[in-house]
Every structure is written in structure tokens, then in C-alpha cells.
Amino acid sequence: MSDKIPLVLVDGSSYLYRAYHALPPLTNSKGMPTGAVKGVINMMRRLQKDYPQSTLVVVFDAKGKTFRDDMYSEYKANRPPMPDDLRLQIEPIHKIIKGMGLPMLIIDGVEADDVIGTLALQATAAKQPVVVSTGDKDIAQLVNEYITLVNTMTNSVLDRAGVIEKFGVPPELIIDYLALLGDKSDNIPGVPGVGEKTALGLLQGLGGLDAIYSRLEEVSGLEFRGAKNMAPKLQEHKDLAYLSYQLATIKTDVEMPQNISQLHNSPADEALLARLFNDMEFKTWVAELATAESPSARAISHASSPQSSPSLPEVEVLIVDIIKDYETVLTEDRLLAWVEKIKAADLVAVDTETTSLNYMVADLVGISIAVDAGKAAYIPFGHDYLGVPEQLSGDTVMAYFKPLLEDPSIKKVGQNLKYDMSIFAQHGVALQGIAFDTMLESYVLDSVATRHDMDSLANKYLGEQTIKFTDIAGKGVGQLTFNQISLELAGPYASEDADITLRLHRALWPKISAEPTLASVLTDIELPLIPILSRIERTGALVDDTLLFQQSQELSERIAELERQAWELAGQEFNLASPKQLGEILFTKLALPMLKKTAKGAPSTKEEVLQELALDYPLPKVLLEHRGLAKLKSTYTDKLPTMINPTTRRIHTSYHQAGTATGRLSSSDPNLQNIPVRTAEGRRVR
């Protein structure tokens, strides 16, 4: 294989449909569809990260018929017309790709595959390595010493051996394979009655199409089901077989406006991209452009936050080009290979992908692992969308992984491992060997320097923008759960989580270990607390919903009584929850002193104002009691019974070790620490 930087050829049309069907139907505030745009451009950005020095050439199908339609009028006739909401997204996709400075080719009369094939063979003649990024199996016929495929499902590379492993035949027989089998997506007929096993039996037993038809008398002796009756079928449909061969053959002599030596990336037009991203309302990408560093910058120094400890040095971020080798594991032999990598690793990053942030109800969809910088895998077993590729079963994965996860000698690092520990526990795995947690490492190093989520930490300490969950799942009511996300998007996202976690640890731990007191806080306090808090959370708090319901009824009566008192003191009925009406009553009708104003100049009715007024006036005192009881009722006596887990009959909160600047624990969903203790009613809830 050549040491030259590879040329990357991107099948844009393949990406277009994959992105459209993989992402939820996203729109901007103007109603413009944006899902396919986001998906396609996200894939382009990923390729730019993976091949930072390569020229990326993006090829799309042209409108209208091709030479294959002249050969066979039914070619692709089974495909429905392009959806209107997808058609609207083509122009912005093209504009953004041009704005990114990527060469884009659309050649009339041929398909994107043919343009890619022509460029790939030009590169082969020049001994130039080529990576073809596509989801189209036809292009496997091009693979040779210089041409490899990026498998967009697993984000791994298919060379000659990979093609043989995937299809059962070498690249030079892929056309013959498609000629026999046909291709439903393109309406290539193939030979009726020939399925995958029959096609492989013929090709592996006799060779290509010409060899098969010259040795038809030998077909009956082959070892596949139906071999005895196959020769007459082949003879009957010989014309269809050779027509299919022609239709499946990628044209490699397309007349091109430019050859490979003339194709180069150009500097990105950031002003154009900012305008287009703004139109699409891709806020994260707009923010990235606004804060982008010069491409030549190799290190970024971030000044400490004004709230940071003055004894801590500025954080230097070394930007390192990482070759990312991410894999989505779909077979048992690849799972075994990763098991061996885990056993051999000094430290393993572990992350779970689930259907919910609620550890008590979440289903485990897959596990991601990283063993070295850039080397990570996602093992899915719970994706269940229509058309999902065959995955390993959860039982198979856990049979191999449970002993590894429970082995204390295999050291693990994670990002918020308490959540993963609880998820594993819910699925019968007692996670052991927790050596580090990057969320806690960041928190111990500087609790106020940044948020401690992985995306923020990757940006601060690695200078890297990660794939956001909303990039692959969408937002709002249409947001997908992880089991609904296509493997081609889920794999890189999940693998990156584990990879970034391992790299964050390598960036953070040297800074912490240089300060013995910080290292002690992490290793002697925070890390040992993880399993304790996980167990407390999963055990839950026993709640008497009958008593809470009774107290809620009593609170309703008292709140209604206070409302009547307030109306009497005000001399009229009004909405006690309306700041505007309350301000009019207090400061206009009753002429109470105005102590503070809001940002818009209206009288403030905040709690501290009412507390001061209550020292001298009766209505504010009634209002304060009304507010306190109404909040207690809505937040606790009404809500807590609805949060009781139907299985355990307990409430399960989440405790946060990195949620405050002072080092204390906090809790949420529900916040059990915030139940009032100064009032009798609050103490009753506790």
C-alpha cells in the first residue's frame, strides 16, 4: 500500500438518501426541512476529521436519464419519486459543500458510481491510494491494491480481504455476483430463482459468469440447495444475466471536466457557511465558526476562569491529529477480537448507550469500548428500527462482557460511570475495576472552569468538537431514542464517546497527579463514592403515597383559605400567581413601598421583596405562605407519588458529585435535598 495521502471520493447521492431516512424530519423555525442537510454535512465533517490532509471529492447523480436507462427501460423504475421535502434540501447541501471548499462533481448521462469509478482508476494508474466513502455495494467491484471502501455502517475500511469476508467473493466477481443475484434497489433483474447462497455456490464453484455458462453441465454437481435444477434456469435466463452484468458494471471511462491532479480542496468560505448554517439554524456549527481557531494553530491556551483557583496554571490544549479507527461490531469473531484487546489493555474506556437517562427504566442498547487513542468500538444489540442490520444478541455480548466488566483487575475509565454502573446493575452486571472518571477528574481539577459534560471537556482539554446527540437524534418531540438511531450514525457517535473519554483521562490525570492533595480527593473520596451512591440511588427512598395524597388534600384546603384571605386584604379577587396583577394590587391599589424593579422597570414581587414587606404589612405575609405551600404541593405532595417506580415502589433520585462549585452533593429527579425543613408542612414531607 502506498504511503501517499489518500484521495477521498464521496458518494454524495448515497449519503443524501441515507441521511434523509436516518434522521428524524427536522425543520427550522421557517418550516424548511433540514434533516438531510444536517445528516449529509455531518458526514462530510466527519470525513474531514478522519482524513484531514486528503482531498475530498463529492459526487452526486445528475438529473435525468443515464445510459443504463437506454439499455433497460425498467432500470430503477421501482423507485418512488424523490420526496418533496428531500428535493428542497439538495440546493443548500450543494451550497454548503462548495462553501466547505470541497470539489463537487455532477456529470450528465452517468451515475455518481461511474464518476467515482473513473476517478478511482485514474488514481490507480498513478499509484495513488483512494478511499471511497459510500453505502453502495456496487462499488465493491472497484476495490484493488490502491482502492478501499469506507464502510459507512461500521466506519471501518473494506480492502480486498474485507470484500471477500463481507460478500463471499473477491472484488473481481462482484459484478458477476450482482448479475446473478440482481439488485432490487436498482431494479436489476438478475436470474430468477437465484438467491445469495445460490449465487455464491455458483461463483465459488465455477467462477465468473462466462465460466458458469461455459460449464453449465457441472452446475448440478455443485453443493448448494437446488443445484440439480439450476442449469436449465440459467440457460433460460442467460440474456437477463448478461443484461444485469452490463447494468451492474461501473463505467470507468467517463469524460471528465477535470482529472484527479486538478482536484483540490479550497479554503472554506466561512462567511458563506455562517450564513447558510444560520438559515438552517444549525446553532452548534454557527458557534464553532464564531470561535474557530486558525488552522495553523497547534496549541490553544485558555486563561483560567475568573472564578478558578489562582494556584492552578492555565490549561494548555495540545491539538493532536488522531487517526480514528472506529468499528461497529456485528459478528462474534469481531467481538472476540475486542475481548482480547480489552484483556491486553492497561486501561479501558467504557460507555453505555441506552434508551433513557433514567437509570431505573433505561434499556441497554449497546456498549462502547476504547483501548487506545482513536481505537474504539461500538457493540450494538438493542437497535430495533425497520431495516436494522443483524446484530449480536444481548445474551451473546453479555456472556463475553460480564466477566470483563466484573473483573477488578481490568481497570476502567468512564464519563459519569455512576450512571453506567447503575445501568449494568439493572442488567445483572456488577461493574468493578473503576479506576478513573473523567467527569470527576475535571471537577476535582477545577470545579468552576467549565461544565463537566463530555462535550465541554473535549472542547476545553482536547480542542475537539464532538458529535452531539441532537446531531443524530434530532430535538423536541420528534427526538429519537438511541435504539431508533441507525447504526451508521450510532456507531461513530458511541465509539467517539469511549475514545474521547480515554483521551480526556490522559489529558487530565497528569495535571491532577502533579498535585497530591487533588489526587487524594479524587482517589480517596470521589471515586470510592461512585458505587455507594449508585447503590443508594438504586435502593431508592420508600414513600407513603397515601400519606402524601392526604397531605396534598390538606394543602389544597389551606391554599384555598389563604387565597380568600388575600382577596379580603386586597379588597378584590386577583390571580395570586400573576406578577402583573400582584404588582398592581400591592403597589398601585394598596400603595405599598416599591423596594425593587425588574429589568423592564416593573415593580418586583420576588420572594425577598415580599419578605421585607411582610414585616410591616399583612398581605405580603399571606402571599409568602401561599407561595410556599403551593410550591410544596406541586413539587412534592402531588409529584412524588407519580415518580414512584412501579417495580420497587420507591423513588429513585440521582445524586450529583460534580453539580456544585463547593463540593457538596446535589440531587435531581426529584431534588430530595430541597424539601423545606423550616416549615411544619415541609418537615411532614421529609
Identify the top-confidence range among 217-226, 282-291, 503-512, 623-632: 503-512
**Residue 640 sits in a domain of what CATH number?**
1.20.1060.10
Contacts of range 45-48, beta carbons closer than 8 Å, 24 or more positions apart: 46/467, 46/492, 47/8, 47/10, 47/133, 47/150, 48/100
99 close to 276: Cβ distance less than 8 angstroms: yes
> How many domains does the chain fold into?
3
**Radius of gyration from C-alpha coordinates of the chain:** 31
- The answer on 550 and 504 residing in a single domain is no
Closest CA to 224 of 259, 250, 197: 197
What is the residue-wise DSSP string for 516-578?
HHHHHIIIIIIHHHHHHHHHHHHH-EE--HHHHHHHHHHHHHHHHHHHHHHHHHHTS---TT-
Query: 549 and 535 in one domain?
Result: no
29 domain residue, yes or no? yes
- Per the structure, the complete domain to which residue 374 belongs is given by 294-539
C-alpha cell belonging to residue 668: 435531581
- Highest mean pLDDT out of 252-261, 314-323, 369-378: 369-378
Q: How far apart are CA 560 and CA 630, in angstroms?
A: 10
Do 518 and 549 belong together in one domain? Answer: no
Can you tell me the mean pLDDT for 157-176?
Answer: 90
Rounded percentage of the chain residues whose pLDDT exceeds 90: 57
CATH of the domain at 334: 3.30.420.10
- Candidates 119, 161, 115, 153; CA nearest to 137 is 153
Q: Are residues 45 and 174 in the same domain?
A: yes
Residue 642 has a CB neighbour count (10 Å cut-off) of 8
Shared domain for 250 and 310, answered yes or no, is no
The answer to whether residue 515 scores a pLDDT higher than 60 is yes
- Regarding whether 14 and 157 lie in a shared domain, the answer is yes
β-sheet bridge partners, residue 105: 59
Given 518, 539, 560, the domain boundary residue is: 539
Say if residue 99 is in the same domain as residue 37.
yes
Residue 320 has a pLDDT of 55
Contacts with 530 (C-beta within 8 Å, 6 or more apart), sequence order: 417, 418, 421, 434, 437, 440, 657
Cβ atoms of 174 and 141 within 8 Å: the answer is yes
Per-residue pLDDT band for 151 (boundaries 50, 70, 90) equals low
Whether residue 442 is found in the same domain as residue 506: yes
Do 511 and 491 belong to one domain?
yes
Q: pTM for the complete prediction?
A: 0.59
Cα(64)–Cα(216) distance, integer angstroms: 39
Q: Are residues 472 and 581 in the same domain?
A: no
CATH of the domain at 126: 3.40.50.1010
% of the chain with per-residue pLDDT over 70? 93
- Predicted pLDDT at 558: 92
Q: Which of 486, 514, 539 is the last residue of a domain?
A: 539
Averaged pLDDT score across all residues of the chain: 88
Least confidently predicted of 247-261, 496-510, 531-545, 594-608: 594-608
Over 90: is that where the pLDDT of 662 sits?
Answer: no
Kindly state whether residues 432 and 549 are assigned to the same domain: no
C-alpha 407, offset from chain centre: 29
Does 482 reside within a domain?
A: yes
- Amino acid letter, residue 627: R
**Are 173 and 166 contacting, i.e. CB atoms less than 8 angstroms apart?**
no
Instruction: Residue 397: count other Cβ atoms within 10 Å of its Cβ.
Output: 21
